[in-house]
Amino acid sequence: MKSTPTAYGAVAVGLHWLSALLIVGLLVSGTIADETADPAAKASILSMHAPFGILVLVLTLARIAWWRFDIRPEPLGDDTALQKLAAKGVHGLLYLVVLVMGASGIALFALSGAGDIVFFGAPGPLPDFGDYAPRPAHGIGANLLIALLAAHVLAALYHHFVKRDATVSRMWFGGKV
């Protein structure tokens, strides 16, 4: 369940991969909802997007809380100081952006009244989310999240295929260095 100095434990691995899968789905569904003109289709997409967004927020908070009981494996030895700094920066920004995305999504639903329409069938059209202050943060956050995820995946691929180290395998169930 817990991590070791050389590999992540089942809890950290499970939270990582479940969050990753959900985040990709949220980025896709959010983009589709944003580009959908049909109000019924948009409401249908948002009826799934919002609860899964809250789930990602909860999983992220759980992962942050888990750090109080778990250790993080030591970095593999031959990364440069700049690579180590970049890794810490990308990981930290990933958590920050996910938290901002969750908070801004909840704020959008709360301020706009969209929750009543999407989840409880209240009459009326969906609001124009662009009219609400959290919308720019949510949109910028989505774009930043895409860039950070791309950097994260490219770094993992670099470690796996170029450096041929155990960075990727230790973030899998039963992974070892």
pLDDT class of 165 with cuts at 50, 70, 90: confident
Architecture of the domain defined by 10-171: Up-down Bundle (1.20)
pLDDT tens readout for residues 22-34: 999 999 999 999 9
Cα–Cα distance between 63 and 141 in angstroms, integer? 20
Q: What is the pLDDT of residues 129-156, one digit of tens each?
A: 999 999 999 999 999 999 999 999 999 9
126 within 8 A of 42, measured Cβ to Cβ: yes
pLDDT of residue 62: 96
**Location of structure tokens 């750090």:** 67
Q: Which of 119, 116, 2 lies closest to 66, judged by CA?
A: 2
CA dihedral 16, 22, 28, 29 (to 10 degrees): -160
Q: Is 113 left (phi over 0), alpha (psi -120 to 50) or beta?
A: left
H-helix or E-strand containing 107? Answer: helix 81-112
Domain range annotation of the chain: 10-171
**pLDDT the model gives residue 59:** 97
Largest pairwise CA distance in the chain: 60
Residue 177: pLDDT above 70? no
Q: How many residues does the chain have?
A: 177
Q: How far apart are CA 139 and CA 99, in angstroms?
A: 14
Q: What is the pLDDT of residues 73-110, one digit of tens each?
A: 887 778 888 988 999 999 999 999 999 999 999 999 99
From CA 114, how far away is CA 122, in angstroms rounded? 9
> Is pLDDT at 164 greater than 90 in this prediction?
no
